[in-house]
Amino acid sequence: MAMTLFYITSAVAVFATVMMITRLNAVHGLLYLILSLLAVGVLFFLLGAYFAAVLEVIIYAGAIMVLFVFVIMMLNQGQKTIEQERAWLQPGIWIGPSLLALILFIEMLVIVVLDGGAETGHVVNAKQVGIALYGPYLLAVELASILLLAGLVGAYHLAKPIIKIEGKS
């Protein structure tokens, strides 16, 4: 049973990731990216890494997606962009992400109700995650945070209006 759920969740994650990469609009890609990250969280849960699953959902699907939404808002180009976003957010756009999210929700119900919350793999607790992140992977964690900061600063400077000083061109 756990292997079947694992393969279904893996297929959802791969499909959502491919859809995210192939979308031309940032909003559509963002929807599929959120679903991909949620599917990875379910995969962590199935493997017994409950703490990593919670971190995946809270940090990536939550906080970083909010960061992307802020960047999209900062890059707002006026009325033309508002009209374009309304055209992008037609009800039909939500069918694909909604179906994938429904599959993940049903899988989580199956895990909790039918399996009775039984462990599906080796349990990884918060202490083990902390030791790994602040031990051998400390440099990678710090480089990732610097990369995110650089992206935020770059987005700010791209969105900042150009101020002309009187008397200078």
| CATH number of the domain within which 116 lies | 1.20.120.1200
Higher-pLDDT residue of 120 and 111 is 111
> pTM value?
0.59
What DSSP letter does each residue of 54-105 carry, written as one string? HHIIIIIIIIIHHHHHHHHHHT--SHHHHHHHHHHT-GGGGHHHHHHHHHHH
* CA of residue 95 relative to chain centroid, distance: 18
Give a yes or no: residue 117 inside a domain.
yes
Residue with tokens 């756009």: 93
Q: Would 65 be classed as within a structural domain?
A: yes
What one-letter code names the amino acid at 31? L
State which residues form the domain around 87.
Answer: 2-123
Tell me whether residue 157 is in a domain.
no
pLDDT for 85-117, tens place per residue? 677 677 777 788 888 888 888 887 887 777 655
Number of domains in the chain: 1
16-75 pLDDT per residue, tens: 999 988 887 777 788 888 889 889 988 988 888 888 888 888 888 777 777 777 766 666
> What is the distance between the alpha carbons of residues 154 and 131, in angstroms, rounded to a whole number?
32
What is the CB neighbour count within 10 angstroms for residue 37?
21
149 versus 62: which is more confidently predicted? 149
Position 13 scores a pLDDT of: 92
* pLDDT score at 118: 53
Q: Is 128 part of any domain?
A: no
Residue at token pair 């859809």: 19
The answer as to whether 52 is a domain residue is yes
Domain membership flag for residue 86: yes
Residue 107 domain flag:
yes
Residue 28 lies in a domain: yes
